[in-house]
Amino acid sequence: MKIDGGCLCGYITYEAEVNPEKVAVCHCTDCQTHSGTALWCGGGITDNQFQLRTGELKTYQKIADSGTPRALAFCPECGTRIYARTENDDSNSSVAGGR
């Protein structure tokens, strides 16, 4: 399923091809902290399924509670989280849902 999305301020826009069967919610402490809620919703993608249309992302590497390094991509202007990706694992990425 093709989705179009972007950040709160409009600086970042993207399109992605998301498998509806790979949409999931995460309840880990990191996702709760970042979202300010009990969960974060994202759609599973691989790098070649994500196309940045406008803007330039800022990334931050966070070591997850599991010990796995995760790259978190944000809008440098408004801070909206766009995607999360396990470092060196193209098969474990998720783009934010609800945009």
Q: Which domains does the chain have, with CATH numbers?
A: 2-96 (2.170.150.70)
Instruction: With a cut of 70, say whether residue 63 has pLDDT above it.
Output: yes
- Let me know the angle formed at the C-alpha of 26 by 24 and 29, rounded to the nearest 5 degrees: 175
- The least confident of 29-38, 40-49, 72-81, 90-99 is 90-99
State how far the Cα of 40 lies from the Cα of 30, in Å rounded to an integer: 9
Report pLDDT digits (tens) over 23-36. 888 888 888 887 78
Q: Hey, what amino acid is at 97? A: G
Residue 78, helix vs strand vs coil? coil
Q: Which of 62, 28, 59, 47 is nearest to 95 (CA)?
A: 47
Mean of per-residue pLDDT scores for the chain: 86
